[in-house]
Amino acid sequence: MIPMSQRKQDILRALVEEYIHSATPVASETLVRKYRLNYSSATVRHELAGLEEASLIYQPHTSAGRVPTDLGYRYFVEHLMQESALSLNEQRLIRHQFYQVQDQLDQWVRLTASVMARLLHNAAVMTSPRSNVGFLKHFELLSVTDISAHLVLVLRDGTVKQQRLLLDTPIEQTELSALARRLNQLFQGRSAREVAASLTSMDFTPVERLIGTTIASILEQHGDPLGDIFYREGVVNILEQPEYSRMGPEEERNERVRKVMEVLEQNRFLPVLASHLRTSDGVQVIIGGENEWDEMRDVSLVVARYGQEGKVGGLLGVIGPTRMQYGRAIAVVRYMTQVMNELLAEMYGFEE
């Protein structure tokens, strides 16, 4: 990130905070008056021009004020933002809500997503806690047509997975059942890596190899929290934000709505999370154009892993316009991660 004078930092911080609050391009006079900057309006205008040259802010129209760019938000998040914290009353209320649904995993997930959506007035996304490694308990093969079968896997943690298999040659149910009995003896209790190792070290028929490869693939996806469908809460909160309700011409607003709904309904953010959370710890902030999906260039994500690596865990976070209260969002995501860590540690008996 480029070096920046204290004066420019003060002005950029004030501009980002004001735009997050007002959703209106910010004029130099507003910064001087409202944020008590010890600089004249002329000095602020000069520094704003410099910030614009550095691509940290831009001017939507010639006569308009300035708006932060994605790069400006990134500089703000990494260098200027003051992270807020949940009040003691908020923490007590959250703890009380979780106390009422003790030992109910599905309720923990829904409540966590609901709390994040309510506190931040954005959409919340979350996966259920699950074992980081899938182990096969047993599977069944059910004939659908002469050349297709239904593969049903039951994993050791009780998860049930299903997938259709296309066969090269017709196979009747009696033969499918015999294949299932033989391969269950070989693969029972094994992980994706162990099933794959068996496939390379032993002789199998083409159909047995197809079944084994499919089982290994399903087990591998189970071990990846990104493979789950996300729980979503508060989608309507995003649509109530100015970006989608009043900013710009109606046609532009409708296009923004279409894109953000595509992101949420089709899980377009999953590849983005995959590239960030597999290599990073703690809360991660992904801003607008930092991801490769065009539909996501108007939104930001604040996300984190929860649980304990190698045992059980998942993902949680919030998604909203790039004009997001990042400090508040980071504090909420971090606190809810802590709550989930404590609940899982107590349930599964591992140290935090």
Host domain of residue 60: 6-80
Same domain as 245, residue 113: yes
Q: Verify that 110 and 242 share a domain, yes or no.
A: yes
Nearest to 59 by CA among 36, 29, 88, 27: 27
Out of 222, 240, 258, pick the residue that ends a domain: 222
Judgement on whether residues 51 and 100 belong to the same structural domain of the protein: no
* pLDDT level of residue 280 (50, 70, 90 thresholds): low
Whether 107 and 181 map to the same domain: the answer is no
Does the pLDDT of residue 268 top 70, yes or no? no
Same domain, 186 and 234: no
The count of domains in the chain is: 3
pLDDT at 66: 95
Element (H, E) at 111: helix 105-120
Among 190, 222, 254, give the residue marking a domain's end: 222
pLDDT one-digit tens code per residue, 199-238? 999 999 999 999 999 999 998 877 665 555 567 888 889 8
Interatomic CA distance for residues 104 and 156, integer angstroms: 19
Read off φ and ψ for residue 203, nearest 5 degrees: -90, 130
Q: Which residues on neighbouring strands pair with residue 301, listed in sequence order?
A: 286, 319
Q: Does 218 share its domain with 247? A: no
305 and 238 assigned to the same domain: yes
Q: 300, 286 in Cβ contact below 8 A?
A: yes
**Residue closest to 301 by CA, chosen among 336, 332, 265, 326:** 326
Q: What is the CATH number of the domain that holds 150?
A: 3.30.390.60
- Whether the per-residue pLDDT at 284 is higher than 60: the answer is yes
Whether 267 has a pLDDT exceeding 80, the answer reads: no
Inform me whether the pLDDT recorded for 13 exceeds 60.
yes
Position 66 in a domain: yes
Predicted confidence at residue 134, as pLDDT, reads: 82
The CATH number of whichever domain residue 54 belongs to comes to: 1.10.10.10
Whether residue 284 lies inside any domain: the answer is yes
Are 56 and 174 contained in the same domain?
no
Same domain, 108 and 240: yes
Q: For residues 26 and 52, state if they share a domain.
A: yes
Residue 328 predicted with pLDDT over 90: yes
